[in-house]
């Protein structure tokens, strides 16, 4: 009897000294929490061969010969972004196996995507608007200047071209939400081309510009913060 009382007393003391650990040991598992990335739709490469091309409008694995083979890691949920554009053009993390070093910007004008190479086989991909027929171009430049809410001064050639179509362009548009250059601009070499925002986000994913690369304002602000003057930009 005395031995039994001693054991009960000892057990009570252990329970008082370590109540949390005792409960935790026999408690049920904690609830499983899934992050949005894990809960997002998953894509598979098993049904396709390297080199196959899938339409950019399908939310499946995307094989691109230019600039590299990529596969979506995380993708936005179905449904358009406030009705403004196809959600495939929203920012996504992708696998990148091209030869460009980290920090390089690559623009695929065929698929209307911009890639910021991050290294370790990864890239950040954005949807862009590119040059319309007759205004396509390719080449490599560096970012020579960055500007927040830039002014827009249409070149004389554009003013004349639009005037012939019956549209009069202003000589100067101050920076702001209604400016065609949007929230940020990255100037490319000594050219008139820029990577810039837009006041027409629904045009992203289309060939609509006079050669500039346009992005959603939210995306160009993010890109602006991640690159610096001197960044190499490859347009293909």
Residues marked as catalytic: 196, 212
Rounded Cα–Cα distance for residues 222 and 177 (Å): 17
Tell me if residue 78 falls in helix, strand or coil: coil
Rounded Cα–Cα distance for residues 160 and 139 (Å): 26
How many CA within 13 A on the CB side of residue 221?
7
> What is the dihedral sign for C-alpha 127, 135, 146, 108?
positive
Helix (H) or strand (E) holding 219: helix 217-226
> Which structure tokens are listed for 33?
């929490």
Largest CA distance in the chain: 109
Instruction: Specify whether the CB–CB gap between 103 and 231 falls below 8 A.
Output: yes
Tokens 């996504």: give the residue.
92
């Amino acid at each position: 009897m005395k031995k039994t009382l001693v054991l009960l007393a000892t057990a009570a003391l252990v329970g008082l000294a370590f109540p949390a650990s005792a409960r935790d040991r026999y408690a049920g598992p904690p609830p499983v929490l899934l992050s949005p990335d894990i809960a997002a739709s998953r894509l598979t490469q098993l049904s396709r061969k390297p080199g196959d091309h899938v339409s950019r409008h399908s939310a499946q694995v995307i094989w691109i010969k230019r600039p590299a083979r990529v596969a979506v890691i995380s993708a936005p949920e179905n449904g358009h972004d406030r009705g403004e554009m196809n959600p495939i053009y929203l920012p996504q993390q992708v696998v990148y196996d091209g030869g460009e070093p980290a920090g390089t910007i690559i623009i695929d004008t065929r698929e209307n995507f911009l890639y910021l190479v991050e290294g370790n086989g990864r890239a950040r991909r954005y949807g862009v608007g590119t040059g319309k027929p007759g205004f396509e171009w390719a080449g490599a430049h560096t970012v020579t200047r960055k500007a927040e809410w830039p002014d827009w001064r249409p070149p004389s050639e554009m003013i004349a071209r639009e005037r012939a179509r019956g549209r009069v362009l202003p000589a100067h548009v101050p920076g702001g939400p209604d400016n065609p250059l949007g929230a940020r601009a990255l100037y490319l070499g000594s050219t008139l081309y820029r990577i810039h925002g837009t006041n027409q986000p629904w045009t992203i994913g289309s060939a609509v510009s006079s050669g500039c690369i346009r992005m959603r304002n939210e995306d160009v602000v993010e890109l602006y913060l991640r690159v610096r003057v001197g960044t190499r930009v490859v347009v293909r």
